[in-house]
Amino acid sequence: MIRAPWKRRIAALASLGDESRRKLFDFVASTGCAVSRDDAAGALGLPRSTASFQLDRLVHDGLLAVEFRKLGGRGGPGSGRPSKLYLAAVREVAASVPDRNYDLAAELLVSAIEESMAGGGTARDALVRTAYARGESAARAAGAVAGPADPGATVGGDAFAGFLAAEGYRPEDDGAGGLVLLNCPFHRIAEGHANVVCAMNGAFLAGAAAGCGIDPDRVQALAINDLRADGTAQRSQCCARIRPQEP
């Protein structure tokens, strides 16, 4: 699953700060089917005009989607115009400042445990394989594929940097043709489980590089504690760097 951009998720949460919109979203999401403005207004005791305005605002903010359908089983000439119906566009909304992605960490860890239980081998090896495959598929799904004439180019302005930014890593040019990643999407769990989380993160980034047509060996991943020890990493910085392209 591709996450919505961070700014859009923040805007969606801000939209739900309005009590009427929050109640309307909860109502639509809980029904499990498309509902009309009249249904929503009646269920919440709101004027139809208010419900209509707030529902359309939820659509604008990416929380609801719209479909048009004739109700009551009627069709053909004389059956009237299709009704505008609303349904949930997302099952849940989450955002944090700074951007974190603990859902991804949970998915990777559980998938690795399942693979290890089914096929034997160590959980760590299964986690690295799972994370690499997920990074590669996520980059491809996001369309972050470098052009054939530029298979690895300088990282700063290519599709790989765009993918990293969308995933919350805050990539910045290191001044030598590589990248430093100023945010760790797994910061809180990396604090107590650095070796596991940093290995998972490094494999995910290497897979994403491969998915972008970039040499995965350009991903340098160390445990964040090791980077901090030599004074080159700050507290919330990612444990990985992207090396410059080799001449």
DSSP string for the chain: -PPPPHHHHHHHHHHTTSHHHHHHHHHHHHHSS-EEHHHHHHHHT--HHHHHHHHHHHHHTTSEEEEEE--TT--STTS-PPEEEEEES-S-----SS---HHHHHHHHHHHHHHHHHH-S-HHHHHHHHHHHHHHHHHHHTT----TT-SS--STTSHHHHHHHHTT--EEE-SSS-EEE---TTHHHHHH-HHHHHHHHHHHHHHHHHHTTS-GGGEEE--HHHHHHTT---TTS-SEEEPPPP-
- The Cα 48–Cα 181 span in angstroms is 48
Average pLDDT for the chain: 85
Query: Per residue in 98-138, pLDDT tens?
Result: 899 999 999 999 999 999 998 878 899 999 999 999 999 99
Bigger pLDDT: 153 vs 21: 21
**Predicted local distance difference test score (pLDDT) of residue 231:** 55
**Predicted local distance difference test score (pLDDT) of residue 230:** 56
* Span of 2-11, 155-164, 217-226 with lowest mean pLDDT: 155-164
Which CATH fold would you assign to the domain 6-88? Arc Repressor Mutant, subunit A (1.10.10)
Query: Per residue in 21-62, pLDDT tens?
Result: 999 999 999 998 899 999 999 999 999 999 999 999 999 999
Q: How confident is the model at residue 229 (pLDDT cuts 50, 70, 90)?
A: low
**Predicted local distance difference test score (pLDDT) of residue 77:** 57
Bigger pLDDT: 187 vs 121: 187
Q: How confident is the model at residue 148 (pLDDT cuts 50, 70, 90)?
A: very low
**Predicted local distance difference test score (pLDDT) of residue 156:** 35
**Predicted local distance difference test score (pLDDT) of residue 234:** 61
pTM of the model: 0.76
Q: Which structure tokens are listed for 40? A: 């929503």
**Predicted local distance difference test score (pLDDT) of residue 79:** 57
